[in-house]
Amino acid sequence: MLKLFLPNQHVKSIFDIHPDELKKRGLKGIITDLDNTLVAWDVKDATPEIIEWFRMMNEHNIKVTIISNNNMERVKLFSEPLNTPFVFSARKPLSHAFKRAAKEMKLQKDDIVVVGDQILTDILGGNIAGFHTILVVPIVQTDGKVTRFNRKIERQILRYMRKKGKISWEE
């Protein structure tokens, strides 16, 4: 059961995910979280660095879809200028949004990686749906109310997994 909370990989940021490495592993798509994964949760627009990251993925034919538990206005405002498909009100960790994103990308599970900053939503949801998962360090240490509660549970899970030798990275 606890293995569902374990990501396949851990990186410091989205910028540590490169299209060449993805292609070497046969990956053709990314399903990514928005808040605290791509930009801080209280930042409305993509930064120049994120715009460049999306451009680089596009140049290498890596499809990207954003899935977020946030509302349509927030996700649409961020995604449309990037010309990036999105799923809002995703209800992560339920697997429906992940499967929907894969179907819309016209890719199989083995072709896609799920990236996010939360174990209880992004990683658990991606693992339940059968995808390869990558946990990134949250961009900022502040969160909305629901996420603050999730982070407390995540810290307990991470402490337990570290104690059992299941993970080696630092918080």
Residue-range domain boundaries for the chain:
2-140
Token readout for 24 is 């070497």
Give the global pTM: 0.89
- The sign of the torsion formed by the CA atoms of 93, 171, 28, 74 equals positive
- Least Cα distance to 26 among 62, 55, 51, 76 occurs for 62
Using one digit for the tens of pLDDT, what is the confidence trace for 78-125?
999 999 999 999 999 999 999 999 999 999 999 999 999 999 999 999
CA–CA gap between residue 97 and residue 126 (Å, rounded): 10
Fold of 2-140: Rossmann fold (3.40.50)
Using one digit for the tens of pLDDT, what is the confidence trace for 51-76?
999 999 999 999 999 999 999 999 99
Mean of per-residue pLDDT scores for the chain: 91
Query: Rounded to 5, what percent of the chain is helix, strand, coil?
Result: 45, 15, 40
Question: What SS3 state is found at 47?
Answer: coil
